[in-house]
Amino acid sequence: MDAKATAAESFVREPAAGSTLNVLGITHIYKATGAETAGSFSLWGSVVPPGAATPLHTHAREDEAFYVLSGELVIEFEGDSAPHRIAPGGFFFGARGRRHAVRNVADKPARVLVFCAPSCGLDQMFAELDAATAAGMPEMAKVVAIAAKYGVTIEAPAA
């Protein structure tokens, strides 16, 4: 394989720049996509409103890491018996193959920097979820089906 054909180019993204997606009520502002990093990683900032949460889910293809910039998140993850409150400056590493969920239980938005490596399709999954959210919050069955296409298993809440 020709290394030059797959090498990423260096770039700068200004503070207000980057594509913005609404993923089930959580705003993602991309700073680097897998397409821009030749699949090495993706990086985005998230604004998590009060009460917003991700469902309990597992990534089969990538690791995910969260660095809290402001606000506070509660993280639940497989292998630990109790949820953890993550304050500004706190960090969570979500290993692939291990269930985790993130929620904002505070009364103000949380700002988080999220890193995933390698970049194996979450960018595309979030774009599909953004499109599905445009007409209102999609049914959980649709969310589960979209996620499954990208190696993410969502544990849907009981009906």
- CATH architecture for segment(s) 20-153: Sandwich (2.60)
Round to whole Å and give the CA distance between 158 and 31: 35
135 closest CA partner among 13, 6, 24, 50? 24
Bridge partners of 44, per DSSP, are 30, 114
3-state secondary structure of 117: strand
Round to whole Å and give the CA distance between 146 and 159: 19
- Mean local confidence (pLDDT), 31-43: 95
The percent of the chain in helix, strand and coil, each rounded to the nearest 5, is 15, 35, 50
Percentage of the chain modeled with pLDDT above 90 = 79
Q: Where are the domains of the chain?
A: 20-153
Please report, in angstroms and rounded to a whole number, the separation of the first and last CA atoms in the chain. Answer: 49
**What band does 50 get if pLDDT is binned at 50, 70 and 90?**
very high
pLDDT tens across 133-156, in order? 888 888 989 999 999 999 999 986
pLDDT of residue 156: 66
**What band does 159 get if pLDDT is binned at 50, 70 and 90?**
very low
Cis peptide before 50 (omega within 30 of 0): no
Round to whole Å and give the CA distance between 141 and 159: 11
23 closest CA partner among 43, 53, 50, 51? 53
Q: Is the pTM of this model over 0.75?
A: yes
pLDDT tens across 92-108, in order? 999 999 999 999 999 99
